[in-house]
Amino acid sequence: MPKIGLVNINKKYEGLHLLKNVNLEIPNNTLFVILGPPRSGKTALGRILAGLELPDSGSIFFDDEDVTYKGPNQRNVSLVFQDFALYPHLTAYDNIASSLLKSRLTKEEIRKRVKEFAEYLKIDHRLTHYPSELSGGEKQRVAIARALVRGAQIIILDEPFVRLDYKVREDMRAQLYRLHRDLGVTVIILSSDHMDAMAFPDNIAFMLEGEIIQVGNLDAMYEKPTNLSIAKYLGLVEMNVFPAKSILDLKGTEIPRSLSMLDGTMLIGFRPEHVTLHYENTLKPDKIILAGKVKITEIVGSETIVHLDAGLPEPVRVLISMIVRKTPGEAVRVEVDVKDIYVFDAKGKFVGRGGDLIGGDIAR
């Protein structure tokens, strides 16, 4: 429940600068996602938050209390490990009860609490079983119950869905949301899966190479990512990114005048879901029209990804929200609205959207 403040957290390990001056505020009672590729420092941050490790410098505040040097037990934080870390020699019941055995509760009280959380997480019928006899989803629920039963106000989950299969993931995401809502605890999810960001879009912090690049809700990151990495990370199919020069120099395509004002070294990105098939043969003032040959067609579920060879450094990915069959080699024209374009500088820093171009905000 308390508001969490991380101030100037630094951590080095074996010469690697894992966390570089991390500053983050997590409001109280939120469901927060820390998103980032592997090795971005998420786990290190989570462990420092939980009190398993000390930062090299910096402080951690819960509300206004400096808890940097407090042990995990005094902090009221729980951590659910990626591999669940259940004690293999104890039953599910004993696993959940383990943290309570150190408290001053009576056996009856412990039994009550364990049953309470077990019932809430729907594993009360498996309490007498050992971890080796439980399924992945059950193991995770036992791990979560063990974390919750201590009465922690903050619960951190390290890559919680990575070891579950697809269907179970959906259930667990819903379960986590309900948990947060019903119990009023702050839930922090450390994840490298953008699907988790999409499932919990309200509070996201994106981490890259030990730094927090952007904080906000999913919409903000989707529409105005501060960094090319974030733009490519979010989205069902990875964004198409090309140097502006390669688009401007393209022959046989239509480039709106507004684009030609761009510096050639800048990077233009557009999402596969914003690319549509071009049918009419008319010119449209604010659309880029690309012509090319189909390389591969991927049918994924009820959608189609067409990889188009359009004379650009890489094939163009087009996401069509229905099943379309195109033969390889087939000539196809596609269009992208300039408003949907993302412009980045040569280093990947976000400059603006296509709409800013039209308004003349971006110039050479």
Partner 1 sequence: MKVIRMLGYLGLIIHGLFILGPLYVMIVTSLKNINDVFSIPPKLLPFVDFQPTMEAFEFVANTRVLYAFLTSLGVATAATAIAIIPSLLAAYGFSRYKKAAMNDERSFFILLTLRMTPPFAVVLPIFLYWNLFKLYDTYFALVWTYSVFSVPLAVWLLKGFMDGIPLSIEEAAKLDGYTFMERLRKFIIPVLGPGIAATIALVWLFLWNEFLFALKLGGSNVITYTAYLPQLRVGQRIQWNVLGAIGVLGAIPPLIIFLIFRKQIIRVYLGR
Q: Out of 43, 68, 76, 78, name the contact with partner 1 by CB under 8 A.
A: 78
**Binding residues for partner 1 restricted to 204-263, rule: CB under 8 A:** none
What is the crossing angle of helices 136-149 and 107-120, to 10°?
130
Collect all residues with Cβ–Cβ distance below 8 Å to 88 and sequence separation of at least 6.
130, 131, 132
* 139 touches partner 1 (CB under 8 A): no
Number of other residues whose CB lies within 10 A of the CB of residue 78: 23
Q: Out of 8, 54, 69, 87, name the contact with partner 1 by CB under 8 A.
A: 87
Nearest approach, Cβ of 47 to partner 1 (angstroms)? 8
**85: which 2 tokens?**
């870390």
The smaller minimum CB distance to partner 1, of residues 156 and 212, is found at 156
* 72 touches partner 1 (CB under 8 A): yes
The smaller minimum CB distance to partner 1, of residues 187 and 212, is found at 187
From the list 146, 148, 151, 69, the residue with the least C-alpha distance to 104 is: 151
What is the b/e burial string over 275-310, where b = at least 16 CB atoms within 10 angstroms of the residue's CB? Answer: beebeeeeeeebbbbbbbbbeebeeeeebbbbbbbb
Q: Out of 32, 62, 81, 200, name the contact with partner 1 by CB under 8 A.
A: 81
The smaller minimum CB distance to partner 1, of residues 95 and 240, is found at 95
Nearest approach, Cβ of 100 to partner 1 (angstroms)? 9
Nearest approach, Cβ of 131 to partner 1 (angstroms)? 10
The smaller minimum CB distance to partner 1, of residues 10 and 98, is found at 98
The smaller minimum CB distance to partner 1, of residues 69 and 298, is found at 69
Q: Kindly determine how many residues on this chain lie close enough to bind partner 1 according to the rule CB under 8 A.
A: 20
Distance of CA 121 to the CA centre of its chain: 24
* 93 touches partner 1 (CB under 8 A): no
In order, the DSSP letters of 231-262 are HHHSSSSPPEEEEHHHHHT-SSSB--TTGGGS
The smaller minimum CB distance to partner 1, of residues 98 and 246, is found at 98
The secondary structure element, H or E, covering residue 45 is helix 42-50
Query: Token match 């994106």: residue?
Result: 206
From the list 328, 356, 326, 327, the residue with the least C-alpha distance to 341 is: 356
C-alpha–C-alpha distance, residues 247 and 288, integer Å: 9
Q: Out of 25, 65, 66, 83, name the contact with partner 1 by CB under 8 A.
A: 83
The smaller minimum CB distance to partner 1, of residues 59 and 98, is found at 98
Residue 113, phi then psi, degrees to nearest 5: -65, -45
Number of H helices, E strands in the chain: 11, 19
| Stretch 17-56: interaction string toward partner 1, x if CB under 8 A | ---------------------------------xxx----
Beta-bridge partners for 254: 289
Q: Which stretch binds partner 1 (CB under 8 A): 83-91, 193-201, 202-210, 264-272?
A: 83-91
* 270 touches partner 1 (CB under 8 A): no
From the list 135, 172, 159, the residue with the least C-alpha distance to 79 is: 159
Q: Out of 126, 139, 141, 146, name the contact with partner 1 by CB under 8 A.
A: 146
* 109 touches partner 1 (CB under 8 A): no
Tell the burial category of 116 from Cβ atoms under 10 Å away from its Cβ (0-12, 13-18, 19+): middle
Nearest approach, Cβ of 251 to partner 1 (angstroms)? 57
Q: Out of 15, 38, 64, 102, name the contact with partner 1 by CB under 8 A.
A: 102
Q: Out of 79, 188, 218, 239, name the contact with partner 1 by CB under 8 A.
A: 79
Q: Which stretch binds partner 1 (CB under 8 A): 38-46, 74-82, 189-197, 332-340?
A: 74-82
Binding site for partner 1 (CB under 8 A): 50-52, 72-73, 78-79, 81-83, 85-89, 98-99, 102, 146, 150
